[in-house]
């Protein structure tokens, strides 16, 4: 190691955790100057969070967060996956987990998780020391102390984060009690539900009968046939709309759609009720129900989100031991062009439909998604999702979609998180990366700075408001 680098290395270890003002921007002076200017346009704008997984109970109860580990480690599957991948098992004691996490913090170098965590520790908790085995306890205590103060209650943070609206994700039979409690409390924060009926469409899955029963109870009907089933869903859509919902969300492995003839559909549904539905039955039923959801969206105006390509619970052992969605999800290749054709041929030109598409298969960005969004009036492209809401992931998304779909066929940013305290970090990163992409166009004399400003503002807020019907596009 040369003497200069060694010196810097030591210096770096001694310095505190610093968030550079220009972080994530390309170092080229022309790009950086434009990126700074564009980012300044958007950094103070409110956060529109139209899709995510924050528990509404958090804001209903407004109780203090228990401890740093329960806040930043245990519930964040980005963090637990990475630790698991290096054989780090989670201890049972919160402080011990934190120490293991801190000792392995180098695993997150260059990852979005590391970026968000640094941001949270620095901006939210005033931590000025880099997290490591040596600093673990000090940081833990500092964060824990703050968590006890009133300014760190969820609602106070919601206001401090400047969140204009926060959408949660909720099962079809959900009572929305926490949403009602929030409204009843008089607190003005806008927290709205999103209807996610996926499990009701998986007719061959073991838990389906219970899901249908819960739906029947929630909608106050009996469900003896497919018409009753759809009627109950219509009832729930209305209930969600009453409670502020503007969207539904649908997670599928493959976005297959098909208008199944009614008689066939009835046979399939009967087999589902008899618990004899096959995998093929389920595939067709799910494909048909996506068509139905689009049809109902045309009628009631709920925006339809479609997340495709995550194979859930890849690690069956873990899933059986700890339950579903514990981090063992792995993407697969996704076909949109042929799969969505029936749905888009039926509803894609209808100005009343808004269909937002997400994928984990980046090869579909330029091949299928941008061309679809650049053609069908109903289609908007959702932001880079999950593994891809990172610096490089966001760059690839813009580079691969903007030229074909333009900017106005995209749907702004989603943080898609259950980690409430990471919301500002995620939106900040998105605004930085969009500013940097636009700055690259400005520095290459492809668009002017004035146009770039308008686009940056649209990407930061307006497009999300518009796509999710959360406010008129100004």
Chain residues 429-448 in contact with its own copies, contact rule CB under 8 A = 438, 441, 443-448
Q: Are strands 247-252 and 47-49 parallel, antiparallel or unpaired?
A: unpaired
Positive or negative, the Cα torsion across 46, 158, 131, 52?
Answer: negative
Q: Is 372 in the site for its own copies (CB under 8 A)?
A: yes
Is position 367 an interface residue for its own copies (rule: CB under 8 A)? yes
Tell whether residue 145 is a contact of its own copies (CB under 8 A): no
**Length of the chain, please?**
474
Find the binding residues for its own copies in span 79-138 (CB under 8 A).
Answer: 81-82, 84-87, 106-112, 115
Q: What is the nearest approach in angstroms of its own copies to the Cβ of residue 30? A: 4
445-464: contacts with its own copies (CB under 8 A): 445-451, 453-455
Beta carbons of 380 and 411 less than 8 angstroms apart: yes
Starting at the edge strand found earlier in the chain, the sheet holding 191-192 runs 47-49, 163-167, 191-192
Tokens of 244: 């502020």
Residues of span 296-335 touching its own copies by CB under 8 A: 309, 311, 314-318, 327-333, 335
Give the residue among 467, 394, 383 at the shortest CA–CA distance from 429: 394
| Angstrom distance (rounded) from CA 113 to CA 426 | 10
Question: Looking at 57-65, 145-153, 189-197, 399-407, which segment touches its own copies (CB under 8 A)?
Answer: 399-407
Judged by CB under 8 A, the residue of 241, 291, 391, 471 near its own copies is: 391
Residues 6+ apart with CB under 8 A from 83: 90, 100, 101, 104, 107
Q: Which is nearer to its own copies, 57 or 367 (CB)?
A: 367
Q: Is 283 in the site for its own copies (CB under 8 A)?
A: no
* Structure token pair of residue 198: 């996926």
- Cα 39 to Cα 139, 397, 429, 474: the distances in Å are 30, 18, 10, 19
How many residues form the binding site for its own copies (CB under 8 A)? 110
- Least Å from the CB of residue 442 to its own copies: 9
Task: Select from 388, 426, 427, 431 the one that contacts its own copies (CB under 8 A).
Answer: 388
Q: Does 363 bind its own copies (CB under 8 A)?
A: yes
Among 146, 283, 341, 418, interactor with its own copies by CB under 8 A: 341
User: How does strand 163-167 pair with strand 47-49?
Assistant: parallel
Please name which of 241, 239, 215 lies closest in space to residue 228, comparing C-alpha atoms: 215
With contacts defined by CB under 8 A, name the span among 10-18, 49-57, 146-154, 266-274 that binds its own copies. Answer: 10-18
Q: Does 43 bind its own copies (CB under 8 A)?
A: no
Question: In the bound complex, what is the minimum distance in angstroms from residue 330's beta carbon to its own copies?
Answer: 5
């Amino acid at each position: 190691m040369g003497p200069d680098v060694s010196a810097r290395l030591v210096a770096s270890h001694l310095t505190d955790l610093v968030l550079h003002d220009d972080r994530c921007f390309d170092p080229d002076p022309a790009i950086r100057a434009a990126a700074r200017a564009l980012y300044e346009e958007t950094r103070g704008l409110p956060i529109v969070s139209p899709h995510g997984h924050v528990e509404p109970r958090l804001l209903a109860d407004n109780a203090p967060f228990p401890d740093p580990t329960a806040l930043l480690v245990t519930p964040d599957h980005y963090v637990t996956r990475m630790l698991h991948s290096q054989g780090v098992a989670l201890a049972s004691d919160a402080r011990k987990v934190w120490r293991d996490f801190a000792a392995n913090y180098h695993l997150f170098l260059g990852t979005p998780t590391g970026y968000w965590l640094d941001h949270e520790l620095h901006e939210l908790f005033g931590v000025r020391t880099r997290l490591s085995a040596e600093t673990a306890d000090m940081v833990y205590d500092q964060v824990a102390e703050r968590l006890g103060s009133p300014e760190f209650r969820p609602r106070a943070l919601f206001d401090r984060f400047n969140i204009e609206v926060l959408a949660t994700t909720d099962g079809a039979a959900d009572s929305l009690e926490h949403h009602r409690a929030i409204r009843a409390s008089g607190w003005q924060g806008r927290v709205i539900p999103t209807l996610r009926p996926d499990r009701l469409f998986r007719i061959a899955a073991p838990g389906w009968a219970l899901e249908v029963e819960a739906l029947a109870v929630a909608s106050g009907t009996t469900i003896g046939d497919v018409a009753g089933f759809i009627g109950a869903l219509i009832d729930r859509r209305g209930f969600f709309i009453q409670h502020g919902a503007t969207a539904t969300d649908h997670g599928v492995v493959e976005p297959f759609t098909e208008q199944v003839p009614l008689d066939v559909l009835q046979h399939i549904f009967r087999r589902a009720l008899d618990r004899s539905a096959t995998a093929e039955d389920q595939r067709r039923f799910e494909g048909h129900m996506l068509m139905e959801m689009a049809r109902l969206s045309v009628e009631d105006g709920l925006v339809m989100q479609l997340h495709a390509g995550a194979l859930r619970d890849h690690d069956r052992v873990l899933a059986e031991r700890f339950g579903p969605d514990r981090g063992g999800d792995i993407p697969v290749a996704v076909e949109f062009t042929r799969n969505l054709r029936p749905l888009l041929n039926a509803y894609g030109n209808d100005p009343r439909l808004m269909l937002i598409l997400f994928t984990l298969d980046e090869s579909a960005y330029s091949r299928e998604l941008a061309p679809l969004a650049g053609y069908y009036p109903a289609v908007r492209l959702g932001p880079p999702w999950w593994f891809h809401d990172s610096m490089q992931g966001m760059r690839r998304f813009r580079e691969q979609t903007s030229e074909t779909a333009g900017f106005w066929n995209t749907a702004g940013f989603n943080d898609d998180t259950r980690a409430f305290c990471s919301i500002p970090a995620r939106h900040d990163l998105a605004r930085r990366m969009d500013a940097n992409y636009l700055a690259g166009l400005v520095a290459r004399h492809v668009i002017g700075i004035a146009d770039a400003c308008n686009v940056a503002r649209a990407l930061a807020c307006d497009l999300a408001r518009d796509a999710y019907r959360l406010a008129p596009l100004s």
